């Protein structure tokens, strides 16, 4: 339809609710809706509010394509009951809300913690930290750390962060570290 056509597909009361429940403006929500419905097959676009987009389509968004944590991001924000990491429009909005400039540092760090907790067990242990470092340094042979370098780096991270010295980083320890990194919030964002 015409340029203004897609806006009418979100019922006004729902639009108001989305504004209250997210850090997004009305404009951002409408843009998100447009981007989300473009990931759906043509025949499903009319009902984008109730459709789910497969993870493989979400990962085609340029903002996620370049993100080393793309799989974890889909996993953490997906409410799929089958565990296929597909996203509903509301999942998609939640993700954009957390990654928006308006989201608080506490919210960002809470979700960053969940994204970095690769085995979903509620703490960042050495194994999670190793995967985290691998994601950040890239998977190429030349960029990968050798085991001694990895060990040293993980030890440094734990020395910095593990306040109760139990060998893992819990959410409050993670949030404490993040509160001392002023550029964390600005690096943790996706803008459509």
Give the model confidence (pLDDT) of 172-192 as tens digits. 999 999 988 878 877 888 777
Q: What are the pLDDT digits (tens) for 93-136?
A: 999 999 999 999 999 999 999 999 999 999 999 999 999 999 98
pLDDT given at position 187: 80
pLDDT given at position 63: 87
- Model's pTM, two decimal places? 0.90
pLDDT given at position 7: 46
Structure confidence at residue 30 as a pLDDT band (50, 70, 90): very high
pLDDT higher for 145 or 4? 145
pLDDT given at position 13: 93
Q: What are the pLDDT digits (tens) for 130-179?
A: 999 999 887 677 778 899 999 999 999 999 999 999 999 999 999 999 98
The closest of 22, 82, 101, 34 to 61, measured between CA atoms, is: 34
Class of domain 12-99: mainly alpha
Structure confidence at residue 1 as a pLDDT band (50, 70, 90): very low
Q: Is the pLDDT of residue 5 over 60?
A: no
| 38, 115 Cβ separation under 8 angstroms | no
Please state which architecture CATH assigns to domain 105-188: Orthogonal Bundle (1.10)
Q: What are the pLDDT digits (tens) for 44-92?
A: 998 899 999 999 999 999 989 989 999 999 999 999 999 999 999 999 9
**Domain boundaries, given as residue ranges, for the chain:** 12-99, 105-188
Structure confidence at residue 8 as a pLDDT band (50, 70, 90): low
pLDDT given at position 127: 97
């Amino acid at each position: 339809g015409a340029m203004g056509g897609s806006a009418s597909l979100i019922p006004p009361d729902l639009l108001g609710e989305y504004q209250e429940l997210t850090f997004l403006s009305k404009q951002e929500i409408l843009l998100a809706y447009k981007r989300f419905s473009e990931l759906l097959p043509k025949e499903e676009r009319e009902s984008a509010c109730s459709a789910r987009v497969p993870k493989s389509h979400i990962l085609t968004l340029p903002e996620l394509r370049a993100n080393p944590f793309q799989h974890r991001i889909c996993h953490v924000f997906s409410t799929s009951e089958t565990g296929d990491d597909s996203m509903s429009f509301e999942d998609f909005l939640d993700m954009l809300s957390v990654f928006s400039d308006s989201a608080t540092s506490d919210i960002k760090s809470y979700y960053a913690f969940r994204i970095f907790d690769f085995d979903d067990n509620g703490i960042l242990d050495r194994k999670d930290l190793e995967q985290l470092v691998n994601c950040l340094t890239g998977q190429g042979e030349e960029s990968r750390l050798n085991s001694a370098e990895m060990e040293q780096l993980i030890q440094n991270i734990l020395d910095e962060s593990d306040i109760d010295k139990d060998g893992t980083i819990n959410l409050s320890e993670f949030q404490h570290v993040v509160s001392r990194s002023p550029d964390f919030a600005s690096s943790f964002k996706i803008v459509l």
